[in-house]
Chain A
Amino acid sequence: MFSLPGGKRRGSLQAAFFVIALVLSGCSIQHLAIQSLTDVFENSFEVLNEESDLLLAEQAIASNLKTLEGILRTDPENTRLLFLLTQAYSAYALGFVEDTDPYRAREMYRRGRDYGLRILVRNSAFGDAINGPLEDFERILQTLDEEDLPEVFWTAMGWGGFINLSKDDPEALAQLPRVVAMMRFVLSHNEDYYYGGAHLFFGTWFVSRPRVLGGDPDSSKYHFERCIEIGEGRFLLPYVYYARYYAVQVQDRGLFRELLQKVMAAPSEVMPEQRLVNSISKRKAEMYLNGIDAYF
Chain B
Amino acid sequence: MTRLFLTIFFVFLPLEEAIVQQYIVKFATLAPEGSTWLKVMNEYDQVVRRESEGRLGFKIYGNGVQGDEDAVLRKIRIGQLHSGGFTGVGMGRIAPIVRILDSPLLFRNYEEIDYLHEQFDEQFSNAFQEKGYVLLGWAEVGFVYLFTNSPVQRPADLRGVKMWTWEGDPIAEAAFKALGVIPIPLSITDVVTSLQTGLIDGVYASPLAAIGLQWFTRVKYMFDLPLANASGSVLISEKMFDSLPADLQEILLRNGRKYMRKVTTLSRRDNERALETLKRSGIKIFKPASPKALDEYQRIGRTARRLLVGKLFTQEFLTRVEQAVADFHKSAKTEE
Given contacts A174-B277, A211-B68, A249-B63, contact A168 B34 (CB under 8 A): yes
Contacts of B34 in A (CB 8 A): 164-168
A28 within 8 A of B: no
Contact code string A248-271 (vs B, CB < 8 Å = 1, else 0): 111100000000000000000000
Binds A, one of B207-215, B225-233, B316-324: B207-215
Query: Is the beta-carbon distance between A214 and B188 smaller than 8 angstroms?
Result: yes
B105 within 8 A of A: no
Docked Cα-Cα span, A227 to B271, in Å, equals 37
Contacts of A164 in B (CB 8 A): 34
A6 within 8 A of B: no
Contacts of A214 in B (CB 8 A): 188-189, 191-192, 213
Contacts of A173 in B (CB 8 A): 211-212
Most chain A CB inside 10 Å of its own CB: which residue of B35, B68, B191, B277: B277
A255 to chain B, nearest CB (A): 13
Identity of the chain B residue whose Cβ is nearest the Cβ of A208 in the assembled complex? B32
Docked Cα-Cα span, A280 to B212, in Å, equals 31
B66 within 8 A of A: yes
A170 within 8 A of B: yes
Contacts of A76 in B (CB 8 A): none
B64 within 8 A of A: yes
Query: Is the beta-carbon distance between B30 and A210 smaller than 8 angstroms?
Result: yes
Contacts of B273 in A (CB 8 A): 169-171
Docked Cα-Cα span, A27 to B270, in Å, equals 54
A70 within 8 A of B: no
Query: Is the beta-carbon distance between B270 and A170 smaller than 8 angstroms?
Result: yes
Docked Cα-Cα span, A211 to B65, in Å, equals 9
Contacts of B207 in A (CB 8 A): 170
A31 within 8 A of B: no
Identity of the chain A residue whose Cβ is nearest the Cβ of B193 in the assembled complex? A214
B217 within 8 A of A: yes
Query: Is the beta-carbon distance between A248 and B32 smaller than 8 angstroms?
Result: no
Contacts of A166 in B (CB 8 A): 34
Contacts of B211 in A (CB 8 A): 170, 173-174
Contacts of A248 in B (CB 8 A): 65
B36 within 8 A of A: yes
Docked Cα-Cα span, A173 to B216, in Å, equals 11
A140 within 8 A of B: no
Interface residues of A in 193-236 (CB under 8 A from B): 208-216
A132 within 8 A of B: yes
Interface residues of B in 1-47 (CB under 8 A from A): 30, 32-36, 39
Contacts of B214 in A (CB 8 A): 176-177
A134 within 8 A of B: yes
Query: Is the beta-carbon distance between B39 and A212 smaller than 8 angstroms?
Result: no
Docked Cα-Cα span, A251 to B216, in Å, equals 31
Query: Is the beta-carbon distance between A209 and B33 smaller than 8 angstroms?
Result: no
Query: Is the beta-carbon distance between A133 and B189 smaller than 8 angstroms?
Result: no
Identify 22 residue pairs between A and B in the complex whose beta-carbon atoms are under 8 Å apart, listed by A's number. Answer: A132-B282, A133-B281, A167-B33, A167-B34, A168-B35, A168-B270, A171-B273, A171-B277, A173-B211, A174-B277, A174-B281, A176-B214, A177-B214, A208-B32, A208-B63, A209-B213, A210-B68, A212-B30, A212-B68, A212-B187, A214-B189, A251-B66
Q: Which 3 A-B pairs have the closest CB atoms?
A: A210-B64, A167-B34, A170-B274
